[in-house]
Amino acid sequence: MTKISKITIVHSVSRKFENALEICQKTCQDCSVEVLDVLSVAEKNLTKEIDRNSQLILVIGGDGTIISTIRKLLTLEIPFLGINIGKLGFLTDINSDSIPDELPIIFNGEYVGEKRPLLEVSLSTNDKKVAVNEVVFHSGKVAQMMSFSIFLGNKLVSNHKSDGVIVSSATGSTGYCFSGGGPIIHPTLPVFAIMPMFSQSASSNPMIVPSDEELSIKLASKNNASIVIDGYTDDEIEEDLKITISQQDLFYELIHPLNYDYFEACRTKLSWGNPLVDIHD
């Protein structure tokens, strides 16, 4: 892997980032790595502020911070590395205590690069948006159902009457989709996870489908809905509007420490597979 000598640091505004930032800057100085910029994720023109000579975007925060950063800086094609000062931290690998040990190794070119697919969301109004985790379609009101159909390519998958549906990327399978009872999916897989929300049908189960074809959702007549992307936007959708989701060559790159293990993250962060008793006793 390529050695890293120039980075940009993007930090959260909702969490206490100062201590982690200080440790990162000190570690960079010790490793002769130049910090080109230190910017808030809330910066209005974040893309314009980033120095294009950066070899790495170091993100200090939680999963929400790195998701927001990826969405804003995707077009720069610079890899991301997360410093976790949040709670769960599926996208942020390094804890504050391990910064002095982990960062020098990564700066020396010893790391794992991983490309993950994104979701591109297109409305029939030609408005396009990008999602890292998921796209949520809901009725816009609590406990109010709506009718819609889901298609994969030109084939009807299913008709629904429910509060809505979550369409998740593989990365987003451990997010809102998981909270709704959806499956955990390895984050590099090019698939969609479809999770109906509070469906009227008893057979409305979560489904995983390949993303080599477009997934589309068509609202029935006399139905309105809202769309939420990664928890950040909430736009109203008018009746008969078609929403299309695709994964055509849309990727972002994460950098992980050499000891990164996705399944270890599942075990520790989700208490995955913990037995009621210690099986080794």
94, exposed or middle or buried, with CB in 10 Å at 0-12, 13-18, 19+? buried
From the candidates 30, 37, 51, 63, which is the catalytic residue?
63
The DSSP annotation for 74-117 comes to GGG---EEEEE-SSS-SS--EEGGGHHHHHHHHHTT--EEEEEE
The SS3 of residue 262 is: helix
In angstroms, rounded to a whole number, what is the distance separating the alpha carbons of residues 174 and 153?
26
CA distance 49 to 44: 9
Burial per residue of 7-25, b for 16 or more beta-carbon CB atoms within 10 angstroms, e otherwise: bbbbbbeebebeebbebbe
- Known catalytic residue at 30: no
User: By three-state DSSP, how is residue 270 classified?
Assistant: coil
Rounded Cα distance between 123 and 160, Å, is 20
For residue 62, which of 45, 78, 86 has the smallest C-alpha distance? 86
Rounded Cα distance, 211 and 119, in Å: 9
- Which residues carry out catalysis? 63
